[in-house]
Amino acid sequence: MAKILLNKKNLFYNLEVISKKATNKNKIAVVLKDNAYGHGLIEIAKLCYEFGIEKAVVRTIEDARKIESYFSYILVLADQTFHNYSHTFHIAINSLDDIEKVPQNANVHLKIDTGMHRNGIAIEDIEVAILGLLKHKANITGVFTHHRGADTLSTDFFWQKENFSLVKNSVKNICEKLLLPLPSFHSCNSAGLFRESNFENLNEDFARVGIATYGYLDNDGVFDFPKLKPVMSLWASKMATRYLKKGQSIGYGGKFTATEDMVVSTYDIGYGDGFLRLNEEDSYTTPKGFKVLGRVSMDNLSLNSNENNICLFDDVTTLAKIHKTITYEITCSLKENIKKEILL
Ligand SMILES: *Cc1c(COP(=O)(O)O)cnc(C)c1O
C-alpha cells in the first residue's frame, strides 16, 4: 500500500535550525494548516509537541480541536464561526465584518493588511476595529500581518515591514490610551524569519513557520538560507510486473514504447492520491533511478523496476519544477487518507 514516511530526525533538525534563528522554541508557531501541508495533522502535531513546540497555527476551529491536547496556544487563521470554545484558541479577524460575529470572551488576533491586499483590516481602521472588538467584549490577544514576497528579491519585504512597524506603534498607543494589555505581534512566515538578520531586534512574539518545518525554503537563488531536510518521502507498492517486448507500449494513449525488451511494474499510486499527473512530455526519475513510463493514471503508475516498494520522492523540489509550481503544492496535494508512518 502507498504510504508517506515522515522522517523524525529531519523534522527535529529543521525545528532546531528554526528555533535557533527565532532565538528559542517558544518563538515558533508551527503552521499545521491543510493537513500539515499534506504531512498529516496529528502526526506532525505530536512530533512538534515532543520537540517542545507550544504554539500552532491551523485554518479552522475543527482542526484546532483535533490538536488541542498538544499545544497551549493555537491560532485559527480562517474560521467564520468564531466561538469562544477554548481559552487556548485565538481566532484571526480578517475583516471589519468579522467583528460583528465575535462572541464574548473570545481571544482574537487582528490581521492587518500591510500591502498584500488579500485579508486583513486597513491600517486606517485599526482604532475602529479595536473599539468594535471591545464593544463585543473580545480579548485582543494578537495583532499580525502577512508578507506577500518574503521569499523574493524585491523591496516588498522591507516596505511591509515598515508598514507593520507603524502598525505596532499605533496599536501600542491605542492600548496605552484605553488601558488595554499589549497584544502579541507577529509578521514572519518561514522566509520572513530567515530574511531577518536579527529576529530578536524585530521585537515580535513569534514567527509562523510552515514550509521550513517540512524542510523547504525557497531562496529565489539569492538568499543565504540554511539547507533544511525534507521530512516527507512518498512510497508505493508493486501491483503487477510484466515483460514488455520491444515495440509494445504502456498505459493510457500508449505513450511510452519500449525500445528494447524490458521489465516494467505497476505501483499503487496515481493522481487520485494527489501524486500530480505526469505525462509523456515530462521526464521524472525516482531517487533510485527508475523512470515513470508514459502517463500517470488515477490509481497507478508504471516504472522500469520490479522492486516491491519504491520511493517516488524524498524531496519534492524536482517535481515542483516539472509541474511549474512550488514545493507547497506538491506536498499539500497528497490526500489525507494515505497512510503515514514515522521513521524514527
Ligand atoms: C501559510 C501561512 C504561513 C506559513 O507560511 P510558510 O511560507 O509556509 O512559512 C504563515 N502565515 C500565514 C498567515 C499563512 O497563511
* Nearest-atom index, ligand 1, CA of 209: 9
Strands (E), the chain: 3-7, 28-31, 55-58, 73-76, 89-93, 107-113, 121-122, 139-144, 184-186, 207-209, 232-244, 249-250, 256-257, 262-267, 301-303, 309-313, 339-343
What is d(CA 49, CA 46) in angstroms, rounded to the nearest whole number?
A: 5
**Quick one: pLDDT at residue 324?**
97
All structural domains of the chain, each given as residue ranges with its CATH number in brackets, are 7-214 (3.20.20.10), 232-343 (2.40.37.10)
> Residues near 35 by Cβ (< 8 Å), separated by ≥ 6?
41, 332, 336
Q: Is the dihedral of CA 270, 271, 274, 279 positive or negative?
A: positive
93-131 per-position pLDDT tens digit: 999 999 999 999 999 999 999 999 999 999 999 999 999
> Of all atoms in ligand 1, which is nearest to the CA of residue 33?
1
Q: Which of 21, 25, 27, 33 does the annotation list as catalytic?
A: 33
Q: In this structure, how many other beta carbons lie within 10 angstroms of the beta carbon of residue 263?
A: 12
| Active-site entry in 252, 321, 335, 339 | 252
Q: Going by DSSP bridges, is the β-strand pair 232-244/309-313 parallel, antiparallel, or unpaired?
A: antiparallel
Q: Which atom of ligand 1 is nearest to the CA of 193?
A: 9
Please tell me if the CB atom of residue 77 comes closer than 6 angstroms to any atom of ligand 1.
Answer: yes
- DSSP conformation class of 252: G
Q: What residue's CA is closest to ligand 1, atom 6?
A: 210
> What is the pLDDT, as a whole number, of residue 222?
87
CA dihedral 323, 325, 330, 336 (to 10 degrees): -110
Point out the residues of the chain with pLDDT beneath 50: none
Give the pLDDT confidence score for residue 40 in this predicted structure.
98
Check if 147 has its Cβ closer than 6 Å to any atom of ligand 1: no
